[in-house]
């Protein structure tokens, strides 16, 4: 029982970290879209996202 509770806590922490990452990625994307509206979008708005996705896939 104790182990399960601990694992639940770890998962909760990971989920909140993921939610924060998603929020950051969305904000970066929005900023990229606003920046790229006046010109042809040669800049890649996806770069900040790939940077966050690298941490261990587990």
Q: What is the pLDDT of residues 1-56, one digit of tens each?
A: 556 667 778 888 888 999 999 999 999 888 876 665 555 555 555 555 555 555 66
Higher pLDDT, 58 or 18: 18
Predicted model pTM: 0.40
Q: What domain count does the chain have?
A: 1
Q: What is the pLDDT of residues 3-15, one digit of tens each?
A: 666 777 888 888 8
Has residue 16 been placed in a domain? yes
pLDDT of residue 58: 58
Has residue 13 been placed in a domain? yes
d(CA 16, CA 34): 27
Task: Please tell me whether residue 29 adopts helix, strand or coil conformation.
Answer: helix
Has residue 17 been placed in a domain? yes
Unique residue bearing structure tokens 């770069």: 47
Per-residue 3-state assignment (H helix, E strand, C coil) for 8-52: HHHHHHHHHHHHHHHHHHHHHHHHHHHHCCCCCCCCCCCHHHHHH
Give the domain extent around 13: 1-36
């Amino acid at each position: 029982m104790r182990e399960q509770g601990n694992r639940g806590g770890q998962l909760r922490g990971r989920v909140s970290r993921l939610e924060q990452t998603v929020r950051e990625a969305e904000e970066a994307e929005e900023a990229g879209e606003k920046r790229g509206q006046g010109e042809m979008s040669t800049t890649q708005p996806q770069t900040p996202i790939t940077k966050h996705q690298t941490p261990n896939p587990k």
